[in-house]
Amino acid sequence: MQFKHPELLYALFLLLIPIIIHLFQLRRFKTEAFTNVAILQTVSQQTRKSSLLKKWLVLLTRLLLLASIILAFAQPFTTNNNITDAPKETVIFLDNSFSLEQKGAQGSLLKRAVQDLISEGDFDKTITLVTHDAAYKNTTLKALQNHLLQLPYSVNPLSYQAAILKSKSLFNHASKAKKQLIYISDFQQQNQPFSVAYDSLIQVNLVKLKPINTNNVSIDSVYISKSTPLQTELTVTLKNYGDAVDNLSVALHNDEILISKSAVSITDQAETQFTLSNKDIINGTFSIEDSGLQFDNTLYFNINTPSKINVMSVTESDDTFLSKIFTADEFTFTSVSANQLDYNAIQEQHTIILNELKDIPNSLSTILKSFTDQGGNLIVIPAAQLNRNAYNSLLNHYNTRLKTLFHSEKKHHIY
């Protein structure tokens, strides 16, 4: 016989109370004097024996009633099979997230958990092993030994709920074997707390791994705080979880070359700045030296040289002066005659210059309006002799008009 709530059987100790009361009765008998008690002596002896029997029967009845109530609440049941001798099906979930990189009393938590599994587990027993990114069904620790010793940390850990569901799904629900789920983790705080829904068919055992040091500093983010044509300033944000740290080293590398190094003091959050030249292509790495978790001590970033700006001059006159303005180190300058213009090439440009065109076709005006609506730039240099209506048709798209053209020796002014 087994009990659903065997802890209630401790209440059987309450049966001692009626026994103690019966043995140490607090009732006191008062002696009454009679003139002649010889006649009552025989009756008294018979009544005393009868009373004593009744008291023992009442005590026994009370004990049986109280014991029956306790057993009823403990909910006894029997099974056809002997559960203790029934085969067991074991699923082990091993948390291999980066938080298990923390140091325990005997090394990193994950490596120590693996060593304990190999040394203390049943080496030849059939088990199912689950991690955040893998599952090994119906295997043995002996077969998994080499893999466990090289088990990597997972960059995409499952939530607690997903990990429990993944583990339970690997049980053979058609089997009558006793099911056991062993969950090994440090149980870090997540958006939802760890909880396992009660299942009478699955025994859940939790193994908590505890680090000896919970202090940690991490690189939170890197952003461009200031930019000039020659230099770019980067700001590194650091966060501290634990005791304040003095003189924390922050290093900046370009590939394997150390560019700069800085030291900061941090309590909760701190920032430090680095300045880079815009001439170099940066395959950068920010790193810190921290005795806590290692995976958040490095941040990778890239700064590429800015791409050249495409500039097209649509001209009917000499535009040599434009090529001197839009030099090859920053611009890709193209000059094309108005009568040879390929309208499809306009969408590939960043800036279009209309250089002294006498006439602007309506089709070109429409395409230029679409080009500027998509973020392109338009520069208009009017000709000395021009089709005013054609120019105004283009400028109407930008809520302006060509009114008076004043001629000077070096340049034209539009008002």
Segment 246-285, tens digit of pLDDT: 889 999 999 989 999 999 999 999 999 999 887 777 889 9
360, with CB counted inside 10 A (0-12, 13-18, 19+), is buried
Where does 259-361 have alpha helices with state H?
320-325
- Reply yes or no on whether the pLDDT at 35 is more than 70: no
Sorting pLDDT into bands at 50, 70 and 90, what band is 43?
low
Locate 17 and state its tokens: 């109370």
pLDDT given for residue 412 in this prediction: 47
pTM exceeding the 0.95 threshold for the entire prediction: no
Where does 334-383 have alpha helices with state H?
362-373
Q: How far is CA 343 from the centre of its chain?
A: 50
Segment 234-245, tens digit of pLDDT: 999 999 988 888
Mean pLDDT of 381-406: 83
Distance between CA 285 and CA 297 in Å, rounded? Answer: 10
Sorting pLDDT into bands at 50, 70 and 90, what band is 87?
confident
393, with CB counted inside 10 A (0-12, 13-18, 19+), is middle
Q: For 8, which DSSP code?
A: G
Strand, helix or coil for residue 257: strand
- Nearest Cα to 166, choosing from 134, 138, 208? 134
Q: How many CA atoms lie within 13 A of 88 on its CB side?
A: 14
